[in-house]
Structure 1
Amino acid sequence: MSDILQQLDQVLEARKADSPDESYVASLYAKGIEKILKKVGEEANETIMAAKDLEHSINIDEDKEHLVYEIADLWFHTLVLLASQNLTSADITTELQRRFGLSGHAEKASRPQE
């Protein structure tokens, strides 16, 4: 799985040098962080709606495919967000690895208080 994430990281980094007229990702970078955040929010909402549809589904297989499609869009736009902030999927997998095997309650309790 990390191979495709690494490949996406490389492509997203390369898109920083592309023309916004030639690349969707470059156009997001050119529009700035607010546009990227808006896209992540839109994709998160679409993921939520797809999950709700699946919960009450008559056509389980089709709705599962739709949920996977929406989550792929969400992941992709989240990777664009990371790249725009000079982060990569490796930063996230490192954090997930750090958390692996920890109780969710213990991990939450270890966070700095806001």
Structure 2
Amino acid sequence: MIRELWEVICERAEHPSEGSYTSRLLTDKKGIDKVLEKVGEEANEFVIAVKNGVPERTTEEAADLFFHVLVALRAANIELNDVIRELERRRK
């Protein structure tokens, strides 16, 4: 699912679509700052959901955070495979 989502994000980056939230994030006049604002916002919401012990909200906020991190990686021209390789390198 993560790789499929990554492919959609890359497609939206290469071929922006007017109705696409992902395209709007990637083409915002604020540039990468817009995506990074969303990462910060979603990270805070995730922390609050975990702290409040609400499993459904935690799951939803985790999904939002994952999505926005992937969009930020694409905006920063970092490949998902590079992140996966780094995680594999750290696995002991």
Do the structures match in fold with TM over 0.5? yes
Deviation at 1:86, TM superposition (A): 2.1
Q: What is the RMSD of the two structures over their aligned residues, measured on CA atoms?
A: 1.1
For residues 1-114 of structure 1, the aligned pairs below 5 Å read: 4-16=1-13, 17-19=15-17, 21-31=18-28, 32-54=31-53, 63-101=54-92
- The amino acid across from 1:71 in the alignment is A
Q: Equivalents in 2 of 1:87, 1:8: separation in Å?
A: 15
Q: Deviations over 1:28-64 (max 9, x none)?
A: 011110100000000000001001101xxxxxxxx11
Moved over 4 A (4+): none
Matching residue of 1:57: none
Q: Equivalents in 1 of 2:63, 2:82: separation in Å?
A: 19
SS in 1 for 2:66: helix
- The amino acid across from 2:43 in the alignment is A
Q: Tell me, which stretches of 5 or more residues in structure 1 are unaligned?
A: 55-62, 102-114
Q: Deviations over 1:78-110 (max 9, x none)?
A: 000011122232221111110011xxxxxxxxx
